[in-house]
Amino acid sequence: MDVAVFLKRKPKKMDFHQTHCSHVVPHQSACKNKKKKVGNLDDDGTLNKEIKLCGLKSFWELPEYMKDNEFILSYYRVSWPLKEALFSIFRWHNETLNVWTHLIGFLLFLGLTIANVMQVPQVADLLGLFTRSILTIAETNVSLNSKEFFLGTTELLDLKQITSPKIDITPPGTAVSRWPFYVFLGGSMFCLLSSSICHLFSCHSRHLNIFLLRIDYVGITAMIITSFFPPIYYIFQCVSHWQYIYLGGITAMGMFTIVTLLSPMLSTSKFRAFRALLFSSMGLFGIIPAVHGTIVNWTNPKRNTILVYESFMAIFYLTGTGFYVSRIPERLKPGWFDLAGHSHQIFHVFVVLGALAHYGATLAFLDYRDRVGC
């Protein structure tokens, strides 16, 4: 072999994730244009079309702003065009389940909102349709038995009760206002949707990554704030000054949290525990009105039902936060949970479960106030 030819050869670079990651120059787009025989006629008469193929990268190939979790080693999208990022919702990468867990949660709450709008006549009144009629729902004895727990939820959600002979027609204006209920649903949907969008498109660029992370934190804060509106409004409906005190307090805490987290520095993995502390502090603020409300409404027949739902909500949220901060299980086996089962996906599932538990408690609040009033 000619020595000059041998010296001109470049050594082949080995890629750590060669089996599933396309090797590209670090910090540049992992997308390449390739021709496929499906498009227009080429010069040689062949049907060709340029398509953009985007590969995945390992943790060590990421730009610094994307290095959030060193225990997830592969399947990263970097500098993907918006179109490819959008359609990556149907591809496997380490954000796929992060997107879908909260997107499914958003669709679920959207469905619950539509169902409630359709069956709550107060909303129809605002649209100039029908006068309101109030459903009377049989009292559900709460048990820690899971079967009875979920049967009680199903009874509250049963749309067939609209045409049930148990309907009690009452004059307009006697039912409790529904706006706090819809504020909670709106806040939950905003949080879940903004989270899905953040996980889907944050791979596009550094500027979009920072912007979407801020929106994600705003969504989490909004969900926490709006979750306070139904219980505080309905518990203290007859003593409005407590409504102003507690709702004003949590809103002020939320605004402080949003302003604090708008700093790009606080979006980094270094401040993961600090962010969790801010969100947890907002949640723990709820202990004060919860204890106050329990004392005031000790004889409320819905007390046990509401306490069960809210206890489940607290357990779900705290458990999810624990996974978020500890980064277990991927911390124990780095690389094993890159696609499925890592802590952020588990955190997402517990957030949806906590919101659903709070939704059940809110239905109990509504039913009680519709029956009793002040």
When pLDDT is averaged across residues 175-185 and rounded to a whole number, the result is: 91
* pLDDT attached to residue 262: 85
Q: Calculate the alpha carbon distances from 95 to 58, 113, 135, 202 in Å.
A: 13, 27, 43, 10
* pLDDT tens for each residue of 308-364: 999 999 999 999 999 999 999 999 999 999 999 999 999 999 999 999 999 999 999
- Full-model pTM: 0.74
Answer yes or no: is 348 a known binding residue.
yes
* pLDDT attached to residue 369: 86
**Cα–Cα nearest to 77, from 87, 69, 68, 88:** 88
- pLDDT band with cut points at 50, 70 and 90 for residue 25: very low
* pLDDT attached to residue 40: 52
128 pLDDT more than 60:
no
When pLDDT is averaged across residues 370-374 and rounded to a whole number, the result is: 80
Sequence-separated (6 or more) residues with CB below 8 Å from residue 179? none
| Boundaries of every domain in the chain | 12-90, 96-372
State which of 129-138, 184-193, 304-313 shows the largest mean pLDDT.
184-193
- pLDDT band with cut points at 50, 70 and 90 for residue 294: confident
* pLDDT tens for each residue of 320-333: 999 999 999 999 99
Considering only 180-189, 212-221, 283-292, which range has the smallest mean pLDDT? 283-292
Residue 299, classified by CB atoms within 10 Å of its CB into exposed (0-12), middle (13-18) or buried (19+), is: exposed
Considering only 11-15, 27-31, 51-55, 182-186, which range has the smallest mean pLDDT? 11-15
Answer yes or no: is 204 a known binding residue.
no
DSSP string, 226-242: HHHHHHHHHHTTT-HHH
* pLDDT attached to residue 214: 92
Mean pLDDT of the chain: 78
Residue with tokens 């003593």: 239
9 pLDDT more than 70:
no
Answer yes or no: is 17 a known binding residue.
no
14 pLDDT more than 90:
no
Looking at 39-81, list the stretches that DSSP marks H as alpha helix, in order from N- to C-terminal side: none
Q: What's the distance, CA 246 to chain centroid?
A: 25
282 pLDDT more than 80:
yes
62 pLDDT more than 50:
yes
Half-sphere exposure of 235 (CA within 13 A, CB side): 29
* pLDDT attached to residue 150: 41
122 pLDDT more than 90:
no
* pLDDT tens for each residue of 197-234: 999 999 999 999 999 999 999 999 999 999 999 999 99
* pLDDT tens for each residue of 98-116: 999 999 999 999 999 999 9
Identity at 322, one-letter amino acid code: G
- pLDDT band with cut points at 50, 70 and 90 for residue 156: very low
**How many other CB atoms sit within 10 Å of the CB of residue 257?**
21
